[in-house]
Structure 1
Amino acid sequence: MANKVSVLVAGSWGTAIASVLADNDLDVTLWSRNEQQVAEINGEHRNHRFLADALLSPRIRATSSIQEALSGKDAVFVVAPSAAMRDVAVQIRPYLTENTLLVHATKGFETGSLKRMSSVLADELPDYDASRIVVLSGPSHAEEVIRQCPTTVVVASASEQAADAVQDLLINNYFRVYTNPDVVGVEVGGALKNIIALGAGLTDGLGYGDNAKAALLTRGLAEISRLGTAMGGNPLTFAGLAGIGDLVVTCTSKHSRNWRAGYLLAQGHPLEEVLKQMGMVVEGVKTTQAAYTLSRQYDVTMPIADELYRVLFEGKSPEAAVEDLMGRGRTHEIEEVAKPVQTKWFG
């Protein structure tokens, strides 16, 4: 059982994960480049920018030194934005051992390469056994986790032993953790749901009502499953916590930054202004770009993602996008689905 763990970086989700680990009586080092943030966490036990007035456990100690954050740690949780994942991986390389548990909780694809986060980590950590990388995902707003609201998540790894070990680190009476061998499905589901959340914000901002949102979530899940299965995920994963679970919470919650971004876009605010106003990373924007390209690489139809791409990057009005979606040719709801991919831990 690990006793000393580190979390990189000190955003809202990273801080919430650190809080769960501290509640489980672990010594947690939280890394941030921002010296003022480090001083606030250590001196006041608060992270005002990301989690308002939540009081943090004294077991959480912040540092701006990557060496201090990682040296002698049994487990490392990487919760960096997708655009920063490769840089963070390079920085942690000298401090990982073959026995270190490595977990990431980032939902997105790398811009340019379109790689999943576990693949980015594997690229930059050639001496680490990539099969032991663990992915943490599921419906889990940091603002609720920090208040110990009942939350259920999933951890995925090709290594059953690694997944079980991370489950043991995190699980408690308010944070329930399931395991899953389907790394691809869990990563793809967690990333693509942010696209649909942008769409949900748009439909709410346009005043289209609950019927429209229900249709968006249902058909959005079909698109997520379609691409995720083509990329090698198990269709059953998308019916679970990393699929429909995360989709529902991200599309319906006031805490969702992707939903808020979509809502602001529907009010007529330009994308650049919306992103500046948010003050935090809106992963759904870059993920929409990734899905637009990936759907063509894998020859998968994703009409919702395509229309959102045109709204975000080609200046199409949300109203016109909805009109074109509703005016598509007739088709069957139940499509031919690929056979479930075998993702068992032992063969």
Structure 2
Amino acid sequence: MTRAAVMGAGSWGTTFAKVLHDAGTEVVVCARRPEIAEAINERRENTDYLPGVDLPEGLRATVDPAEALTGADIVALAVPSQTLRDNLAAWRPLLPPDAVLVSLMKGIELGTGRRMSEVIAETTGASADRIAVVGGPNLAREIATAQPGAAVAACSDEDAARRIQAACMTPYFRVYTNTDVVGCELGGAVKNVIALCVGIAFGLGFGDSTRALLMTRGLAEIARLGAALGADEHTFAGLAGLGDLVGTCSSPLSRNRTFGENLGRGMTLEQTIAVTRQTAEGVKSSEAVLELARKYGVEMPITEVVAAVMHHGMSISEAASLLMSRSPKPERYGV
């Protein structure tokens, strides 16, 4: 039997662990806080991140990384993206030498512009054929309650991608394989930034035409950056691109859209941060994505105004004015 360790017991880490268990994989969740591990083991519920969702009896949790990692064939990493490097530095001596390391995170590292797979490679020394990404329109609560969903398992090694596919394919969760790690990661990271902007528009009371505009032009930004970094453009028409973008921008379950919505309704940035219980990855990643775009000479106007609002004090009204007053362009450019 395949054995998996899920490092991180937030909503998506817990949900992915449940998916692995339901697919017949032996799985242990490693939580940071003892009370979460205890709730999973004794109450069969992650009371902090997935309250009301029943977890299966065979799903175990621990606060001991060594216990979780021992004998693991798959190590799924589900921590906030900006903490990954430090966490991996601590876990590196415990990682099984042949395990596939799977990123469940959707962010870009501040200061370095590294994608999560690059952070994994730099920190652990693992080769590309042992590093994978799982992405797609996966809203944790919906998947945790066995609503139909799908994801992409991406790895440069097709056999490794198929092993991940087999480890988490269930009657309610379909998994497709891909070898385009760059495209799958960029789709997941940048859509969070676009979702912040869509949320702001929703909070301001704008309708579906505005949201469709932002999602479509947001997808164009993702594709331009992807092309510059060598991604396969077809990836952005799939689950890890368009699928993840639509899911995150459309659902009230999305942390990033909700964060933006609160800003659009008049809350200050500080107030919004205070009421946000889980990490909205796009807030910090917006600055990192913009730095990456500038490095490669890619124009990303939505990302630029989101980063300015989140980090440089730009007002919502000024951001909207800047976007709508840009010089005319052909619909397809810069790719």
* Number of the residue aligned with 1:183: 181
Alignment deviations for residues 162-211 of structure 1 (CA, whole Å, 9 cap, x no partner) = 00100000112110001111111110110000011000100001111111
Quote the sequence identity (%): 43
TM-fit CA distance, 1:259: 0.4
2:152 alignment partner, SS class: strand
* Number of the residue aligned with 1:110: 109
* Number of the residue aligned with 1:145: 143
2:145 alignment partner, SS class: coil
Alignment deviations for residues 113-155 of structure 1 (CA, whole Å, 9 cap, x no partner) = 11011111111112x3233211000000010010101101101
Contact 1:156 1:180 in 2 (8 A): yes
User: For residue 105 of structure 2, what is the amino acid of its counterpart?
Assistant: T
1:258 corresponds, among 256, 259, 275, to 256
1:158 corresponds, among 147, 156, 159, to 156
Contact 2:20 2:167 in 1 (8 A): yes
Contact 2:99 2:130 in 1 (8 A): no
Structure 1 stretch 211-220 or stretch 97-106: which is displaced more?
97-106
What is the alpha-carbon distance in structure 1 between the residues aligned to residue 27 and residue 129 of structure 2?
25
* Number of the residue aligned with 2:322: 324
Number of aligned residues: 335
1:168 pairs with 2:166: yes
Contact 1:98 1:129 in 2 (8 A): no
Contact 2:269 2:310 in 1 (8 A): yes
* Number of the residue aligned with 1:286: 284
1:28 alignment partner, SS class: strand
Compute the RMSD of aligned alpha carbons.
1.2
* Number of the residue aligned with 2:24: 25
User: For residue 96 of structure 2, what is the amino acid of its counterpart?
Assistant: T
TM-fit CA distance, 1:111: 1.2
* Number of the residue aligned with 2:204: 206
What is the alpha-carbon distance in structure 1 between the residues aligned to residue 218 and residue 128 of structure 2?
31
Pairs within 5 Å for 1:269-280 = 269-280=267-278
What is the alpha-carbon distance in structure 2 between the residues aligned to residue 174 and residue 193 of structure 1?
24
TM-fit CA distance, 1:290: 0.9
TM-fit CA distance, 1:336: 5.5
What is the alpha-carbon distance in structure 2 between the residues aligned to residue 311 and residue 257 of structure 1?
17
2:48 alignment partner, SS class: helix
* Number of the residue aligned with 2:79: 80
1:49 alignment partner, SS class: coil
Contact 2:25 2:168 in 1 (8 A): no
1:227 alignment partner, SS class: helix
TM-fit CA distance, 1:323: 1.8
What is the alpha-carbon distance in structure 1 between the residues aligned to residue 330 and residue 109 of structure 2?
34
User: For residue 73 of structure 1, what is the amino acid of its counterpart?
Assistant: A
TM-fit CA distance, 1:75: 1.5
Contact 2:73 2:99 in 1 (8 A): yes
What is the alpha-carbon distance in structure 2 between the residues aligned to residue 180 and residue 188 of structure 1?
14
Unaligned runs of 5+ in 1: 338-347
Contact 1:227 1:300 in 2 (8 A): yes
1:67 pairs with 2:59: no
Contact 1:275 1:282 in 2 (8 A): no
Moved over 4 A (4+): none
What is the alpha-carbon distance in structure 2 between the residues aligned to residue 237 and residue 325 of structure 1?
26
What is the alpha-carbon distance in structure 1 between the residues aligned to residue 31 and residue 81 of structure 2?
16
User: For residue 294 of structure 2, what is the amino acid of its counterpart?
Assistant: R
TM-fit CA distance, 1:335: 2.4
* Number of the residue aligned with 2:48: 49
1:48 alignment partner, SS class: coil
TM-fit CA distance, 1:97: 3.1
Under a length normalisation based on structure 1, what TM-score does the superposition of the two structures give?
Answer: 0.94
1:152 alignment partner, SS class: strand
User: For residue 258 of structure 1, what is the amino acid of its counterpart?
Assistant: N
* Number of the residue aligned with 2:331: 333
What is the alpha-carbon distance in structure 2 between the residues aligned to residue 39 and residue 274 of structure 1?
30
Unaligned runs of 5+ in 2: none
TM-fit CA distance, 1:101: 2.1
User: For residue 29 of structure 2, what is the amino acid of its counterpart?
Assistant: L
2:199 alignment partner, SS class: helix
